[in-house]
Amino acid sequence: MSSVIYPFTAIVGQERMKRALILNAIYPQIGGVLIRGERGTAKSTAARGLAALLPEIEVIAVCRFGCNPHRPESWCDECCELFKDGAEIPITRRRIRLVDLPVSATEDRVVGTLDIEKAIQRGERHFEPGVLAAANRGILYVDEVNLLDDHVVDLLLDSAAMGVNVVEREGISFTHPARFILIGTMNPEEGELRPQLLDRFALSVTVEGIKDPDARMAILERHVQFEQDPAGFRERWLPREQQLSDEIARAKALVEQVQYTRADLATIANLTAGLSVDGHRADLVILKAARAHAAFQGRGAVTEMDILLAAELALPHRLKRTPFQETHVSMQELEQRVEQARAEADAAEMSDPMSEPTPNVKKNLSRG
């Protein structure tokens, strides 16, 4: 089997899936993406392709967890101890890693383990890293996430939300960063996630086999070419891969500076309230995804279209449904609802001319 990765930009169609992955790559704080669909719809191909095109990152060369040398506040316990006296930090660059989590994974396999015996007998704190450590600053890919133990899924989602993994045993603790892009895939025919877990995936996309004959022909042609000459096929797509990689890098640098207004916040709030969405996670996700999309487009402010495209990914799996009713909202209906929500926000702004934007809102929410 070829070790050459199929290019992300060569995937035909599945635009919503690609958009959801790109937005998470730009702004991992969004909180991951769940991709639901039957087998053979490019779910794993997209995840591996994304990892292959993302820009290299700088890491502390001697760190087991790939700590960011420029963010000491996020360092693991080992780096904090090693460089507490201002020692020179050795820096190297490496590719983004994609770490697979098997469905049989246990809690210890995910979070890592502390050797209590060494701690008691020798006074040494020895930590054996788990999957979360390997995935730090990379991509954690969970195929058939619906077949994982619910407790393990909870651990993954908690770490994805907090960006840190804390392991405690018998009064001993170890902390390391666990910032990763969480990608879960599943086939709904094999069972669903509990609603409580489903809501904690920031974005969700349902992918289906493409019906258009021309698009199916393009898929067939590209896969035949890839099978015949994997390296040559990837080489031909390299310019597009590099272009997208550069666009993601520029967006990552811009996203924290993307501005939004009180009217944007009101539009999001009116939209989710109008759709009877429980909780407030969806509102925060839409805002973060809208800012990421604006940054990807090279803009410094959120627009109504950014909110619409973010809502398309953040809302469908959070809409209430009866046991035999699928959650679905068309793009046209969503667009109408966003326009209505914006009109309500503008009307409220007009009725309260003294209200002003709060300068710190952007900073606080961007780190949520």
Q: What is the pLDDT of residues 282-305, one digit of tens each?
A: 899 999 999 999 999 999 999 989
Q: Tokens for 178? A: 């666990």
Spatial distance between the Cα atoms of 321 and 135, rounded to a whole number of angstroms: 34
Sequence ranges of the chain with CATH classification 1.10.8.80: 258-366
Told to judge if 281 belongs to the known catalytic residues of this protein, a careful annotator would answer yes
Helix (H) or strand (E) holding 75: none
Name the fold adopted by 258-366. Helicase, Ruva Protein; domain 3 (1.10.8)
Mean pLDDT of 94-106: 88
Q: What is the DSSP letter of 37?
A: E
Could you say which DSSP state residue 301 is in? Answer: B
pLDDT bucket at 258, cuts 50 / 70 / 90: very high
The pLDDT of residue 1 is 42
Can you list the alpha helix ranges (DSSP code H) found in the chain? Answer: 15-26, 43-53, 77-82, 107-111, 116-122, 131-135, 150-162, 195-200, 213-228, 230-254, 262-274, 281-296, 304-314, 331-351, 361-366
Exposed, middle or buried by CB within 10 Å (0-12, 13-18, 19+), for 131?
buried
Provide mean pLDDT across the span 150-173: 81
Residues of the chain with CATH 3.40.50.300: 8-207
b/e per residue, 161-189, with b = 16+ CB within 10 A?
beebbebeeeeeebbbbbbbbbbbbbbee
Q: 275 vs 235, which has greater pLDDT?
A: 235
Between CA 47 and CA 98 the distance in angstroms is 8
pLDDT of 355 reads 45
How does the average pLDDT of the chain come out, rounded?
Answer: 83
Amino acid letter for position 96 = I
Per mean pLDDT, which range of 35-44, 114-123, 258-267, 274-283 is the poorest?
A: 114-123
**Measured between alpha carbons, how far is 283 from 275 in angstroms, rounded to an integer?**
12
The answer to which of 124-128, 144-148, 258-262, 331-335 has the lowest mean pLDDT is: 331-335
Q: What is the mean pLDDT of residues 256-261?
A: 92
127-128 and 139-143 beta bridge pairing: unpaired
338: helix, coil or strand? helix
Question: What per-residue confidence (pLDDT) applies to 358?
Answer: 45
Distance CA 251, CA 243 (A): 12
Is 80 exceeded by the pLDDT of residue 350?
no
pLDDT at 364: 37
Q: What's the pLDDT at 335?
A: 67
- Asked if pLDDT for residue 59 goes beyond 60, the answer is yes
pLDDT tens digits, residue range 234-249? 999 999 999 999 999 9
DSSP H helical ranges for 201-229: 213-228
pLDDT band at 160 (very low <50, low <70, confident <90, very high): confident
Q: How confident is the model at residue 152 (pLDDT cuts 50, 70, 90)?
A: confident
pTM of the model: 0.82
| Nearest partner of 156 among 201, 221, 215, 93, judged by Cα | 201
Query: Exposed/middle/buried for 85, CB within 10 Å: 0-12, 13-18, 19+?
Result: exposed
Determine the pLDDT at residue 347: 66
pLDDT confidence band for 168 (50 / 70 / 90)? confident
Q: How many CA atoms lie within 13 A of 193 on its CB side?
A: 28
pLDDT at 317: 83
| 367 — pLDDT class (breaks 50, 70, 90) | very low
The pLDDT value given to residue 254: 94
Residue 201 clears pLDDT 60, i.e. is over it = yes
Least trusted range by pLDDT, from 151-165, 174-188, 259-273: 151-165
Of the candidates 180, 182, 178, 154, the residue with the CA atom closest to the CA atom of residue 164 = 178
Q: How far apart, in Å, are the Cα atoms of 290 and each of 23, 32, 44, 284?
A: 9, 15, 25, 10
Q: What spatial distance separates the first Cα and last Cα of the chain, rounded to whole Å? A: 42
pLDDT score, position 175 = 87
Q: How many helices (H) and strands (E) does the chain have?
A: 15, 11
> Which of the following is catalytic: 36, 234, 281, 342?
281
CATH 3.40.50.300 for the 8-207 domain, yes or no: yes
